[in-house]
Amino acid sequence: MSDLLIKGARIVDAGREMAGDVLIVGGIIREVAEEIPPQKGIPVLPAEGNFLLPAFVDLHAHFRDPGFPEKEDLLSGSRAAAHGGFTVVSLMPNTDPPCDSPEVARYVLEKAREIGLVEVRVVGAITRGLRGGELVDMEALAPYVWAFSDDGHGVEDHRLVWKAAKKARELGKTIYPHPEFRGLPSRELGEELMVARDLWIARRTGARFHLAHISSPGAVELVALAKEKGLPVTCEATPHHLCLSREEADHPVNPPITTREAVEVLVTGLVEGIIDAVATDHAPHTDADVAAGVPGISGIETAFPLLYTRLVKRGTIGLRTLSRLLSLVPARIMGLRQRGFVREGFVGDLVIIAEEEITVTRDFLFSRGKNTPLLGWRLWGKVHATIRGGEAIYLDGKVKGRDFDDHRQVIRGG
């Protein structure tokens, strides 16, 4: 945890906008005011009129470690997250071996702590080996995970999901389903049927459910009905499902990119609060995977500029709303308090955004995965700095550790 004074920012969070300075001491925001004088011994980071927001929190990402370092590992994924403005990332369990035991969960958490860039949270598997046949030892995994998911595949055995939900409620954890029954006439029908099944189980058990990457209009309608009933249910949508249609982005991803009409329904659900949060579903792959048509988008570095360009600059939502969707609500869903606002007493995790245009190229991406339909696109909203606990972990094209060893080399001394 570090000390830092940020000067001359346009401060925006889910609750307010103001021009001013932010003082972080010991990793915690001590003061937010129109003018804070320099403090002896505390470095100063000039924001130069750029936006200052709470750093982003990603509910849903894949860093491929253990098992697939050629796609991504915890270091490259952490660097990409910092580049994208994220300081907290929740990692899904479909690794090799999968996160179905305390040993794998501890490996991920300990390695991420050693790297020391972003805070990693872990999602444990629902079934052993992600095979859908036998529940994991949820009690043994519970100290290391915030939720349980077989992401990549929906758990089709109703009895298993029922048992998992009851156990998750007992443990105070969340069920995080991948909504898809396979082998049906359409992907949308498979999503909607599983959403309906899981919402009914949530109603009967009282367990918290958070639904991954909602993409169909019918699923949005079902979630709206569940919320009217007061069920303990939240859901997310991805930047690519909210901003891209299949007419303009021919790229394989699961669930598939949808039609313009479906995108309009998703965005309406976002505006109306039916969709609670935006999560990247960052899914890096190798060039060989891409050539073979393996689905997935490397999206943690383009999430903010894509959403800012397509939704904020067009007037669909405001920047305060986007902050709520990327920071405050994801943190609340994960049970993280004192995050999501630029306020006294909150964690000093912040991101500085410049109103500048970027071009998405392979060299722009820090992730090993270059699999994105956005290559060559020009987007607005450049991440200038990512600050975790008062320390710059990304600043003006450089990541802490590999690119600069001491943030005081690039931040004015106090």
pLDDT tens for 37-76 read 999 999 999 999 999 999 999 999 999 999 999 999 999 9
User: What residues does 234 pair with on adjacent strands?
Assistant: 210
Helix (H/G/I), strand (E/B), else coil: 388: strand
Q: Tell me the Cα Rg of the chain.
A: 20
pLDDT at position 7 over 90: yes
State pLDDT tens for residues 315-338: 999 999 999 999 999 999 999 999
In the 8-state DSSP scheme, what is residue 367?
S
- The dihedral built from the CA positions of residue 255, 260, 265 and 270, taken in this order, carries a sign that is positive
CA distance readout (Å), 45 to 21, 53, 166, 347: 10, 14, 49, 17
How confident is the model over 281-301, as a mean pLDDT? 97
Q: Residue 401's pLDDT is what?
A: 83
Q: For 156-193, how does the pLDDT look when each residue is reduced to its tens digit (9 = 90+)? A: 999 999 999 999 999 999 999 999 999 999 999 999 99
Instruction: State the catalytic residues.
Output: 281
Q: Is the pLDDT of residue 414 over 60?
A: no
> Which domains are seen in the chain, by residue range?
4-52+349-409 (2.30.40.10), 54-333 (3.20.20.140)
What is the distance between the terminal CA atoms of the chain, rounded to a whole angstrom?
17
pLDDT at position 410 is 45
Predicted TM-score (pTM) of the model is 0.96
By residue count, the chain amounts to 414
Could you report the per-residue pLDDT of 191-200, keeping only the tens digit for each? Answer: 999 999 999 9
Q: Which of 289, 294, 277 is nearest to 88 (CA)?
A: 277
Nearest by Cα to 367 from 52, 54, 68, 57: 68
β-sheet with 174-175: strand ranges across: 56-61, 86-91, 119-124, 147-148, 174-175, 208-211, 233-237, 277-278
Q: How confident is the model at residue 402 (pLDDT cuts 50, 70, 90)?
A: low
The confidence band for 296, taking pLDDT boundaries of 50, 70 and 90, is very high
Q: How sure is the predictor about 408, in pLDDT bands with cuts at 50, 70 and 90?
A: very low
Closest by Cα among 388, 393, 391, 318 to 55: 388
